[in-house]
Amino acid sequence: MRWFGDQDPVSLRDIRQGGCTAVVTALHHIPVGEVWSVAEICARKSVIEKAGMAWTVVESLPVHEDLKTRSGNYVQLIENYKQSLRNLAACHIRVVTYNFMPVLDWMRTDPEFTLPDGGKALRFERIAFIVFDLFLLKRPDAEKEYTQAELTAAAARFRSMSDAEKTYLYNSALLGLPGADEAFTPAIILAALKTYAAIDAEQLRCNLRAFLLEIIPVAAAAGIKMAIHPDDPPYPILGLPRIVSTEADLAFIAASCPSPANGFCYCTGSLSVQPENNLCGIIDRYGELIHFVHLRNTRKDKDGNFHEAAHLDGDVDMYAVMKKLITVMQETGISLPLRPDHGHQLLDDLHKKTYPGYSAIGRLKGLAELRGLELGISRSM
Ligand code: DNO
């Protein structure tokens, strides 16, 4: 399971009681772009080991915006990134997750969508997102990206919303901004978006390729496998290009710097929202480059809305995915680190404030279901 460090309301003891043998974490207190020193990495590692588990995967070693835009201080930032990789390797950490999403990480419009059983899930509602874009953020020219029917529906929705609902939507949409505890004003966000004014998908791809050509050889030499996380949701938003959304994107990344170290975080929740992605086909074609697995389910509708469904429910055929992953593990002889990605807020979770998606009980339910599925399939193969 993922652990956010000492300030995470879900403790290492909770995680261990869930049956985990390892945690996925990051040095969230170190500002993005600074080197992760051996001392800091070792300190975190020993806290986890004292709790009876191992630190096997970094999620994430964040990529500074200047590296994505290849501007400002990017030359030094690349050196820092390489040094962090070497330091992680010196501490025997072998898998590093990262993403290349401009400005934002994930995006939802409602982190407390109530399910029929009273549990809560993360949801993306397209019209609410358009309301955020047009009327709360007031992004210049945003209306050009939506259909007339969507614009009309968004205007009607905005008129019907109370001030409290508007504030809730605004805050929800910004939860996926790195450092989201800070107060992000529309002016700050619009300024960040503006840094991509001259960067289209093609340019961002070139920047990613340049980044890979620099860091992958260092990772490979140090014995680290890099795992790029797909875009969530997997399409452009707020006028920003997104280039890790489809299988074609994965093919571009793999071909940009061919190396076993240049791999993927296979996130079923993110990839499944793009209807063109064939999740089992991706494992067939890229199984050997999958270094880390996020298992999460989604339920989407024809209007572009989706919510996070229970791990064995939803549009992802988790049985088929798990079977393919087990086959890859048997063929390669490598046990892939796998975690339940997100979970509903259930039972006592409903009275606690955790990182959105990272409740204790909801994730444990997902983990238990996934482990049962894995054991059942592998015993029968
Ligand atoms: C959300 C996560 C992402 C992921 C990063 C990886 O819950 O899946 O924030 O950690 O995109 O860099």
pLDDT tens digits for range 161-213: 999 999 999 999 999 887 666 778 999 999 999 999 999 999 999 999 999 99
What pLDDT is stored for residue 230 in this prediction?
98
Eight-state DSSP code of residue 347: G
Q: Do 187 and 45 fall into the same domain?
A: no
Q: Atom 8 in ligand 1: which residue has the minimum CA distance? A: 341
pLDDT over 80 at 36, yes or no: yes
pLDDT over 80 at 125, yes or no: yes
* Angstrom distance (rounded) from CA 95 to CA 264: 10
Asked if the structure places residue 53 within a domain, the reply is: yes
What pLDDT is stored for residue 279 in this prediction?
98
The rounded percent of the chain whose pLDDT value lies above 90 is 97
Asked if the structure places residue 5 within a domain, the reply is: no
Q: Atom 1 in ligand 1: which residue has the minimum CA distance? A: 106
Domain boundary pick from 163, 194, 225 = 194
Give 87 Cα–ligand 1 centroid separation in angstroms: 22
Computed over every residue of the chain, the mean pLDDT equals 97
Model pTM score: 0.97
Mean pLDDT (whole number) for 290-314 = 97
Is any ligand 1 atom within 6 A of the Cβ of residue 269?
A: no
In this structure, what CATH number is given to the domain that contains residue 283?
3.20.20.150
Is any ligand 1 atom within 6 A of the Cβ of residue 231?
A: no
Q: Do 174 and 251 fall into the same domain?
A: no
* Angstrom distance (rounded) from CA 175 to CA 173: 6
Q: Do 116 and 249 fall into the same domain?
A: no
What pLDDT is stored for residue 178 in this prediction?
77
Q: Do 167 and 68 fall into the same domain?
A: no
Give 266 Cα–ligand 1 centroid separation in angstroms: 11
* Angstrom distance (rounded) from CA 282 to CA 259: 18
What pLDDT is stored for residue 3 in this prediction?
97
Q: What is the pLDDT of residues 313-349, one digit of tens each?
A: 999 999 999 999 999 999 999 999 999 999 999 999 9
Asked if the structure places residue 7 within a domain, the reply is: no
| DSSP helix/strand/coil, 106 | coil
Pocket test for ligand 1, best of 97, 229, 237, 354 (most atoms within 8 A of CB): 229
Which distant-in-sequence residues (6+ apart) come within 8 Å of 24 by Cβ?
Answer: 1, 2, 3, 55, 56, 57, 58, 59, 97, 292, 337, 339
| Residues spanned by the domain of 92 | 12-103+195-380
What pLDDT is stored for residue 180 in this prediction?
67
* Angstrom distance (rounded) from CA 295 to CA 140: 37
Active site residues: 229, 267, 294, 341-342, 358
Mean pLDDT (whole number) for 274-279 = 96
Is any ligand 1 atom within 6 A of the Cβ of residue 59?
A: yes
Q: Do 97 and 120 fall into the same domain?
A: no
What pLDDT is stored for residue 252 in this prediction?
98
* Angstrom distance (rounded) from CA 291 to CA 142: 37
Which distant-in-sequence residues (6+ apart) come within 8 Å of 43 by Cβ?
Answer: none
Pocket test for ligand 1, best of 99, 293, 339, 363 (most atoms within 8 A of CB): 99
Asked if the structure places residue 130 within a domain, the reply is: yes
Q: Do 140 and 273 fall into the same domain?
A: no
Asked if the structure places residue 4 within a domain, the reply is: no
Mean pLDDT (whole number) for 32-40 = 98
Is any ligand 1 atom within 6 A of the Cβ of residue 357?
A: yes
The domain tally of the chain equals 2
Domain boundary pick from 194, 223, 252 = 194
